[in-house]
Structure 1
Amino acid sequence: MTVAVATALFLLTVVLAFAVAVPRGLPEALVAVPAACLVLLLGLTTPAAALGEVAELGPTVAFLAAILLLGYLAEVEGVFAWLGARMAAAGRGSPQRLLGLTFVAASATTAVLSLDATVVLLTPVVLATARLLAVRARPHVYACTHLANSASLVLPVSNLTNLLAFAASGLTFLGFAALMALPWLVVIAVEYAVFRWWFRADLRVVRAAPAPAPDVATPGFALAVLAATLVGFGVSSLFGVEPVWVAAAGAAVLGGRVLAARRAGPVALLRAADPLFCVFVLALGVVVLAVTENGLGAALAAVVPSAPTLPGLLGLAALAAVLANVVNNIPATLVLLAVLGDAPPPGLVLAVLIGVNVGPNLTYVGSLATLLWRRVLARTEAAPTVREFTALGLLTVPAGLVLAVLALWAGLQVR
Structure 2
Amino acid sequence: MHQVALSSAVVWPVAALSTAGILVKPFKVAEAWWAVAGALILLLTGQLTFAEVGHAVGRGTDVYLFLIGMMLVAELARTTGLFDWVAAQTVRSAKGSATRLFCIVYMVGILVTTFMSNDATVVVLTPAVLAAARAAKLERPLPHLLACALIANAASFVLPVSNPANLVVFAGRMPTLPAWFALFLWPSAIAIVVTFAALYWTQRADLRAGMDDEVSVPGLSAHAKLVAFGIALMGVVVLGASFLGGDLGWPTCAVGLAAFTLVAWRARALALSAARAMSWGVLPLVAGLFVLVDALDRIGVAGELARLLEELQAGAPQWSVWAAGIATAIVANIANNLPAGLVAGATMASSHSSSSVVAATLIGINLGPNLSVTGSLATVLWLTVLRREGIAVGFVQFLKVGLVVMPVALLLCLYAVSAGSGF
What is the TM-score when the length of structure 2 is the normalising length?
0.79
Equivalent AA in structure 1 for residue 153 of structure 2: N
How do 1:142-181 and structure 2 match up within 5 A?
A: 142-165=146-169, 167-171=171-175, 179-181=183-185
* Count of aligned pairs: 410
Match of 1:67 in 2: 70
Tell me which of 330, 340, 343 is aligned to 1:332: 340
Could you report, residue by residue, the CA deviation over 1:365-410 in whole angstroms, capped at 9, with x for unpaired residues? Answer: 3235435545655699975455552232122212221233345567
Equivalent AA in structure 1 for residue 367 of structure 2: V
Shift of 1:285: 1.7
Match of 1:11 in 2: 14
The separation in 1 between residues aligned to 2:395 and 2:71, in whole angstroms, is 28
Residues 186 and 385 (structure 1 numbering): CA distance in 2 closer, same or farther, change over 3 Å?
same
How many percent of aligned residue pairs carry the same amino acid?
32
Q: Which runs of 5+ in 2 are unaligned?
A: none
Tell me which of 77, 89, 107 is aligned to 1:86: 89
Task: Give yes or no for contact 1:347–1:412 (8 Å, CA) kept in 2.
Answer: yes
How do 1:104-253 and structure 2 match up within 5 A?
A: 104-135=107-138, 136-165=140-169, 167-171=171-175, 179-206=183-210, 210-217=213-220, 219-236=224-241, 241-253=246-258
Match of 1:269 in 2: 275
Task: Give yes or no for contact 2:126–2:145 (8 Å, CA) kept in 1.
Answer: yes
Shift of 1:78: 4.0
Could you report, residue by residue, the CA deviation over 1:134-186 in whole angstroms, capped at 9, with x for unpaired residues? Answer: 54323212212212332333344544533533544434689757854543332
Could you report, residue by residue, the CA deviation over 1:305-361 in whole angstroms, capped at 9, with x for unpaired residues? Answer: 587977433321111111012222222112222222357655544432321222122
Shift of 1:27: 6.1
How do 1:292-311 and structure 2 match up within 5 A?
A: 292-294=297-299, 296-304=301-309, 311=319
Could you report, residue by residue, the CA deviation over 1:272-316 in whole angstroms, capped at 9, with x for unpaired residues? Answer: 483x53343233222222223335335423433587977433321
The separation in 2 between residues aligned to 1:55 and 1:346, in whole angstroms, is 29
Tell me which of 387, 396, 400 is aligned to 2:405: 396
CA RMSD of aligned residues (A): 3.9
Larger deviation: 16-25 or 54-63? 16-25
Tell me which of 320, 323, 342 is aligned to 2:331: 323
Match of 1:285 in 2: 290
Equivalent AA in structure 2 for residue 153 of structure 1: F
SS of the residue aligned with 1:393? helix
Equivalent AA in structure 2 for residue 314 of structure 1: W
Could you report, residue by residue, the CA deviation over 1:215-265 in whole angstroms, capped at 9, with x for unpaired residues? Answer: 443855444433333333343456564333432332233122211122534
Residues 310 and 144 (structure 1 numbering): CA distance in 2 closer, same or farther, change over 3 Å?
farther
Equivalent AA in structure 2 for residue 352 of structure 1: T
Residues 359 and 378 (structure 1 numbering): CA distance in 2 closer, same or farther, change over 3 Å?
same
Task: Give yes or no for contact 1:150–1:184 (8 Å, CA) kept in 2.
Answer: yes
Task: Give yes or no for contact 1:360–1:367 (8 Å, CA) kept in 2.
Answer: yes
The separation in 2 between residues aligned to 1:379 and 1:66, in whole angstroms, is 19
The separation in 1 between residues aligned to 2:75 and 2:416, in whole angstroms, is 33
Task: Give yes or no for contact 2:79–2:274 (8 Å, CA) kept in 1.
Answer: no
The separation in 2 between residues aligned to 1:173 and 1:75, in whole angstroms, is 34
Match of 1:98 in 2: 101
How do 1:22-41 and structure 2 match up within 5 A?
A: 28-40=31-43
Task: Give yes or no for contact 2:94–2:213 (8 Å, CA) kept in 1.
Answer: no
SS of the residue aligned with 2:249? helix
Match of 1:367 in 2: 376
The separation in 2 between residues aligned to 1:302 and 1:146, in whole angstroms, is 33
Larger deviation: 214-223 or 188-197? 214-223
Residues 384 and 226 (structure 1 numbering): CA distance in 2 closer, same or farther, change over 3 Å?
closer
Match of 2:414 in 1: 405
The separation in 1 between residues aligned to 2:144 and 2:416, in whole angstroms, is 26
Larger deviation: 400-409 or 38-47? 38-47
Shift of 1:29: 4.9
Task: Give yes or no for contact 1:225–1:254 (8 Å, CA) kept in 2.
Answer: yes
Could you report, residue by residue, the CA deviation over 1:169-216 in whole angstroms, capped at 9, with x for unpaired residues? Answer: 43468975785454333212111111232222222232x654425344
The separation in 1 between residues aligned to 2:134 and 2:379, in whole angstroms, is 22
Residues 75 and 182 (structure 1 numbering): CA distance in 2 closer, same or farther, change over 3 Å?
farther
The separation in 2 between residues aligned to 1:388 and 1:336, in whole angstroms, is 29
Q: Which runs of 5+ in 1 are unaligned?
A: none
Task: Give yes or no for contact 2:169–2:348 (8 Å, CA) kept in 1.
Answer: no
The separation in 1 between residues aligned to 2:366 and 2:100, in whole angstroms, is 26
Match of 1:257 in 2: 262
What is the TM-score when the length of structure 1 is the normalising length?
0.81
Larger deviation: 352-361 or 122-131? 122-131
